[in-house]
Structure 1
Amino acid sequence: MNTRDASVTPARGGVWGRLSDLFYRRPAILLALLLGPPLFWIGVVYVGSLLALLVQSFYSIDEFSGRIVREFTFKTYLELLRPSNLDIVLRTVLMAATVTVTSAIIAFPIAYYAARYARGWVKALFFIAVMLPLWSSYLVRVYAWKLILANEGVLNWGVSKVGLSPLIEALLSLPVIGGPSLAFSYIGTFLVFLYLWLPFMILPIQAALERVPVSMLDASSDLGARPGQTFRKIIFPLALPGIVAGSIFTFSLTLGDYIAPQIVGSSRLFIGQAVYVHQGTAGNLPMAAAFSMVPIVVMAIYLWIAKRMGAFNAL
């Protein structure tokens, strides 16, 4: 009887069998096929487009002909430092920071309750309540808020019924953030941003708090720590990665959004609107590219600061 080495796998017939044998003997080929498309997308389509955007930002526009001068220059970035353009950048960053901080303050107790106390159908109801707004169209939600915040909207109607109309009028009379109505003011823009991006803050914090051991909280209490000390020394440091993850979403999404402030808010531009105007109406692609680089730089600085603070150590 012929003997055969048991380590040699017999070849299988058919195309799929031969392919299976090939991938078994050459796992590097299988790995290349699996990682090739996503790496191509990230390296060529995604990173390549960002590099093209970066190159465009170093071009300039001819003021007489309106044509793009494809020569390396810092002229466009110097124009970005004009008071009118710098005001757009500062306004957008301040709005993004305000929305992010407020989202974290509102989201933390909600996420803590869901992670610590919610069980069974209550937890399921929590996830549905958080995710439900995301199931509808973005434009529908923004336009719905425009109707809610209008002078004839349900919010002003409800406020008038409880006798708090003078409070709304006082808010609208404030300089800069006020306006003729909530639908045409920075207060309205802030409320819409807060509504849009709050789920992106709640879910990462809730996921981070799920990983906080209950035994650690009990041990802190047994050792005589007050609730405030337990929060500062245990809960907040362990939840910080989730807060940072949520803030990346809320901060970056607010920085780049141009639809919400165009529908709800004043006539003053945000970065996303400036990119839209320069790229479309004005045809100034270098300035649009320069404005597009601002959120990237701001987010890079923010991530560097978060890393220096140790926010990613517990990831």
Structure 2
Amino acid sequence: MSTANAAILPPRSGPSGAASDAFWRHPTLLLFLLLTPPLLWLGIVYLGSLLALLAQSFFSIDHFTGRIDYSFTLDTYRELFTTPANIDIIVRTVLMAASVTIASAIIAFPIAYYAARYARGKWKALFYLGVMLPLWSSYLVKIYAWKLILAQEGILNWIFHKLHLYWLMDAYLSLPVIGGHSLSISYTGTFLVFVYIWLPYMILPLQASLERVPDNLLEASSDLGAKPSETFWNVIFPLALPGAIAGSIFTFSLTLGDYIVPGVIGSSRYFIGQVVYAQQGTAGNIPLAAAFTIVPMVIMGFYLWMAKRMGAFDAL
């Protein structure tokens, strides 16, 4: 075999030639050298930081001195899950993430369906451009633009004034929980901005999933006498569901951990991301910040497990 190899590929001179010959004869060595740097980065920097964060959550802080006690304890988790304010923050964040995900799926479905079933040529190119264009602008620019739109003196209120419908806006803002002094300092404003920012992450997986629906299935459903609504619920929706779940991975997780949008647009009530930022920053309570960080990680771990079982990863 070595003679045949020599006849096919004669040994080359120099260090680069010797290295090339070695990689050709031992492809596993090349694979090892290519994968070692990213695996080291993943193992040391990413997983290492997560393990360090997990370890910090089992420490506690001395509220008198402000120093961290590095003794193993569950007091921080006990504080996290027994303090009503902390429970409210977790519930508030999860409900917002779920609401944003559901609304994004409802808005994204007709857009994705049109792009997958009817758009062709330049219209499909315009679709991708329209969906991706908001992602090309600055994250903060979009948020502050929405703050101006939703402000008391913003264009949205101006439109309601011109249409003589400001009484409707006043009635809505007077509602408990979702209302406020203006949309820019209400949960509704936070919700609208979240939906706008994360909507492309729902549209694209849905569109990819709908494109995989075979036309012959729709034709067979029609030939068998099914109504359009029956075809939708029995054929299209089950096949598009993995795409919706794939998109929900993005919308749910990104909303769950975001702290900038609630900090700029919304009420003074905290979300998980804001608490983590405040506790590890101004408050200096790193164990509690770490414990709060574990909550969305556990939620997303369970969510990803369910998504995998439902075939969502095939639509990514």
TM-score (norm 1): 0.95
Asked if the contact 1:111–1:209 (Cα under 8 Å) also holds between the matched residues in 2, the reply is: yes
Give a deviation string over 1:183-204, Cα, whole Å, max 9, x none.
0100000001011100010011
Match status 1:167 vs 2:165? no
Distance 1:260 1:120, change over 3 A: same
Equivalent residue, structure 2, for 1:78: 78
Q: What's the CA shift for 1:312?
A: 4.0
Distance 2:148 2:29 in 1: 56
CA distance in 2, matches of 1:271, 1:236: 33
Say whether residues 1:305 and 2:303 are aligned partners.
no
TM-fit CA distance, 1:304: 3.1
**Number of aligned residue pairs:** 311
- Does the 8 Å contact 1:238/1:314 carry over to 2? no
Instruction: Give the residue type in structure 2 aligned to 1:261.
Output: P
- Per the TM alignment, residue 112 of structure 1 is displaced from its structure 2 partner at its CA by 0.6
User: How big is each residue's C-alpha offset from its partner over 1:16-50, in whole Å with a ceiling of 9 and x where there is no partner?
Assistant: 32221111111111101111122112222111111
Q: Is the 8 A contact 2:246 2:313 kept in 1?
A: no
In the TM superposition, residue 311 of structure 1 has moved relative to its aligned partner by: 3.7
> Which stretch has the larger CA shift, 241-250 or 8-17?
8-17
TM-score under structure 2 length normalisation:
0.95
* Conserved? CA contact 2:243–2:312, under 8 Å: no
Moved more, 208-217 or 198-207: 208-217
Residue of structure 1 equivalent to 2:4: 6
- Aligned to 1:175, the other structure's residue is in SS state coil
| Structure 2 residue matching 1:281: 3-state secondary structure | coil
Deviations 1:199-227 (A, max 9, x none): 01001111111111112211221122222
Residue 194 of structure 2 contacts residue 255 of structure 2 at CA under 8 Å; is this kept in 1?
Answer: yes
Question: How far does residue 313 in structure 1 lie from its aligned partner after superposition?
Answer: 8.2
Tell me: CA distance 1:314–1:199, structure 2 relative to 1, closer, same or farther (3 Å).
closer
The structural deviation recorded for 1:277 is: 0.4
Counterpart of 2:23 in structure 1 is 23
Q: Using the TM superposition, give the Cα deviation of residue 177 of structure 1 relative to its aligned residue in structure 2, in angstroms.
A: 1.3
**Are residues 1:66 and 2:34 paired?**
no
Structure 2 counterpart of 1:202: 203
Report the residue type matching 1:199 in the other structure. P
In 1: Cα distance, 2:147 partner to 2:19 partner: 57
State the shift of 1:235 in Å.
1.3
What is the CA deviation profile of residues 91-150 of structure 1, one whole-angstrom value per residue up to 9, with x for unaligned ones? 000000000000000001100100100011111111111111111110000000000000
Distance 1:187 1:314 in 2: 33
Q: Report the Cα offset of residue 6 of structure 1.
A: 3.0
Gaps of 5+ in 1: none
Find the counterpart in structure 1 of residue 135 from structure 2: 134
Q: Distance in 1 between matches of 2:273 and 2:180?
A: 21
Q: How many Å separate the matches in 2 of 1:7 and 1:301?
A: 51
Cα deviation for residue 307 of structure 1 reads 4.3
How far, CA to CA, are the matches of 1:253 and 1:65 in structure 2?
A: 35
Rate the CA distance shift 1:314–1:238 in 2: closer, same or farther, 3 A. farther
Q: Tell me: CA distance 1:139–1:300, structure 2 relative to 1, closer, same or farther (3 Å).
A: same
The one-letter code of the counterpart of 2:179 is G
Counterpart-to-counterpart distance in 2, 1:7 and 1:305: 50
What amino acid is the match of 2:207? Answer: Q
Which residue does the alignment assign to 2:32? Answer: 32
What residue is the counterpart of 1:48 in the other structure?
A: 48
Cα RMSD over matched residues? Answer: 1.5
Partner residue, 1:282: 283
Structure 2: unaligned runs, 5 residues or longer: none
